[in-house]
Amino acid sequence: MAEKKKAGKAMSYRGKPLARCGNVLYLGNLSASHFVMMQVIQTEKLEDLSVPQKVAVQLIANDPQLPPKDRVVKRAMKDGLYSAMIIGSVWLDQYQS
């Protein structure tokens, strides 16, 4: 599960680093061969929280020789953040072994 940031500890999911910038989340080490970018497309208001409903997931190759369009290895649209994080984690396991 995702862990909350505590006193200098970075967030992680299934042992992979997790970073957030606005509505975009990054899973995996950004200096590794591949990382996952998850962009929240649609949210739903639940009481006073904004819950992600649609999330675009992309597995990105970290190769500066490739043009930006060719760096995207896989794409998916998922319902909910949990489904997006699971597929992103599986992709990272496949491409970083």
Return the closest-CA partner of residue 22 out of 2, 4, 47, 43.
Answer: 43
Arithmetic mean of pLDDT, 1-22: 76
- How many contiguous H segments (helices) and E segments (strands) does the chain have? 2, 6
| Residue 50 · residue 23 · CB < 8 Å | no
Q: What is the pLDDT of residues 49-71, one digit of tens each?
A: 889 999 999 999 998 899 989 99
For residue 15, what pLDDT is reported? Answer: 86
pTM reported for the whole predicted model = 0.83
pLDDT band with cut points at 50, 70 and 90 for residue 7: low
CA gap 97, 68 in Å, rounded: 23
For residue 4, what pLDDT is reported? Answer: 55
